[in-house]
Amino acid sequence: MKLLEDRIKKDGEVLDGDVLKINSFLNHQVDPQLMMQCGEEFKRLFADQKIDKVLTCEASGIAPGVMTAYVLDVPMVFARKKKPSTLNDAVYWADVFSYTKKVNNKICVEEKFLHKGENLLIIDDFVAQGEAVKGMVNIAKQAECNIVGVGAVVAKTFQGGSDWVKQHGLHFEALASIDSFKDGQVHFENEN
Amino acid sequence: MKLLEDRIKKDGEVLDGDVLKINSFLNHQVDPQLMMQCGEEFKRLFADQKIDKVLTCEASGIAPGVMTAYVLDVPMVFARKKKPSTLNDAVYWADVFSYTKKVNNKICVEEKFLHKGENLLIIDDFVAQGEAVKGMVNIAKQAECNIVGVGAVVAKTFQGGSDWVKQHGLHFEALASIDSFKDGQVHFENEN
């Protein structure tokens, strides 16, 4: 998605350790028009699939997730990183390993919001090692849902997450695919 | 907003201790069409104001916040509950007291996303004691922004948060104002 790639080139910050910070339009400040365009692009990319629900993860997945669900006209569920005090019902849990902090965190989804046989589109803001996606796939499988695909706003394809999704036979789409950082610059897969 | 009140009556769960759980369309599963309608209603309610940016708080504020920012065609910033590892720049901090857990938590916003004199609309999903709103007002004041108003998707008007906002001279609007729970049922301010 050219518009997104241009925005990453313009506003993304490349930090040490192959970290890309896109706080100015995705992860802290959010550009809602761009999020809507991402939602429309996901709809186009997964147009051959019947989708009943969007599954994403708090916090940064919510903006692209809710826009995608809006254009698809389906509900969205966001996995929670801790169980809220008002969440007393049965939940599915999955571990999510944090590479930056070297610890296992957990995400959860209340069981009643995922139904057996339901067609889920998983949306994530950022797929690097893909730990959040792995956790969401785990939860979808516990619920016996059908995963129609995984959509990432941004993927760092050299860090294994997107390969893991494809190796598990899932349809993967990223709106911007970064294959390397060279001299502090982002390099996309489709660039020379 | 009749549509929202009807949905709360239909799908909200009243728990012990005056807790209303609306996980099925706002706080865990999200109805994106309803969120867009909330955004349009906030636009109408604050139509007399110039708004440069929407400020909300992760996680449940993001869906109504991003839709409001979308219809207003302005950026949204969501306050973070912890400082992400990639967030190395200067931030504004505020305490947010948790009544359920009896502890002070913190929220933060990167300084560069709030500019002196900017007109902020604060959006929150739920205003009870209003602690998250107080934290966002604190941050907006540190940044010397102009708070044009505070919009809550749902307010429990008997728990002090909405009064606090009004006492501080701020324009407050809630799309559904709950003044009591009677026999496990929600009672809205505009009902007999």
Q: A98: which strand partners?
A: A103
Question: What does the buried/exposed string (b/e) look like for B144-160 if buried means 16 or more CB atoms within 10 Å of the residue's CB?
Answer: ebbbbbbbbbbbbbbbe
Residue B75 lies in a domain: yes
Tell me how crowded residue A167 is: count the other CB atoms within 10 A of its CB.
10
Global pTM reads 0.97
| Residues of chain A neighbouring B110 (CB-CB closer than 8 A) | 23, 28-29
Distance CA(A83)–CA(A107), nearest Å, equals 8
Q: Say if residue A29 is exposed, middle or buried (CB neighbours under 10 Å; 0-12, 13-18, 19+).
A: buried
Single-letter amino acid, residue B122: I
Torsion of Cα atoms, A120 then A121 then A122 then A125, to 10° = -150
Q: How far is B43 from chain A (nearest CA, A)?
A: 15
The residue with tokens 């809630």 is: B174
Distance CA(B36)–CA(B23), nearest Å, equals 17
Hey, what are B188's tokens? 């809205």
Residue B69 lies in a domain: yes
Tens of pLDDT, residues A7-31: 999 999 999 878 899 999 999 999 9
Instruction: Write down the pLDDT at residue A55.
Output: 98
Instruction: Write down the pLDDT at residue B119.
Output: 98
Which one, of B56, B59, B101, B110, lies nearest residue B83 by Cα?
Answer: B110
Instruction: Write down the pLDDT at residue A87.
Output: 59
pLDDT-above-90 percentage for chain A: 87
- Positions of chain A with pLDDT under 50: none
The domain tally of chain B equals 1
Residue B14 lies in a domain: no
What range defines the domain where residue B156 resides?
A: 36-82+91-179
Complex prediction ipTM = 0.96
DSSP one-letter string for B113-172: GS-TT-EEEEEEEEESS-HHHHHHHHHHHHTT-EEEEEEEEEEEGGGSHHHHHHHTT--E
Which one, of B58, B185, B39, B164, lies nearest residue A84 by Cα?
Answer: B58
| Residues of chain B neighbouring A110 (CB-CB closer than 8 A) | 23, 28-29
DSSP percent split of chain B into helix, strand, coil, nearest 5: 35, 35, 30
Among the partner-chain residues A29, A36, A78, the one whose CB lies closest to the CB of B77 is A29
Residue B74 lies in a domain: yes
Residue B96 lies in a domain: yes
Contacts of A41 (CB under 8 A, 6+ apart): A1, A175
Contact criterion met (CB below 8 Å) for A155 and A161: yes
Q: How far is A118 from chain B (nearest CA, A)?
A: 15
Hey, what are A4's tokens? 């997104």
Residue B172 lies in a domain: yes
Instruction: Write down the pLDDT at residue B84.
Output: 67
Helices (H), A98-167: 131-142, 161-167
Instruction: Write down the pLDDT at residue A100.
Output: 75
Hey, what are A133's tokens? 């996606």
Mean pLDDT per 10-residue interval, chain B, length 192 residues: 96 90 96 98 97 97 98 98 74 90 91 98 97 98 98 97 98 97 91 80
Distance CA(B185)–CA(B15), nearest Å, equals 10
| Residues of chain A neighbouring B42 (CB-CB closer than 8 A) | none
The residue with tokens 């969120």 is: B35
Q: Cα-flanking dihedrals φ and ψ of residue A139, to 5°?
A: -65, -40
Hey, what are B169's tokens? 């001279």
Antiparallel, parallel or unpaired: β A103-110 and A119-127 = unpaired
Tell me how crowded residue A171 is: count the other CB atoms within 10 A of its CB.
16
Tens of pLDDT, residues B127-153: 999 999 999 999 999 999 999 999 999
Residues of chain B whose beta carbon is less than 8 angstroms from a beta carbon of chain A are 15, 19, 21, 23-25, 27-33, 35-36, 58-59, 62-63, 66-67, 69-70, 73-78, 80-81, 84-88, 100-101, 109-110, 113
CATH code of the domain in which A8 resides: 3.40.50.2020
Residue B139 lies in a domain: yes
Instruction: Write down the pLDDT at residue B34.
Output: 98
The residue with tokens 């569920």 is: A77
Residue B53 lies in a domain: yes
Instruction: Write down the pLDDT at residue B99.
Output: 81
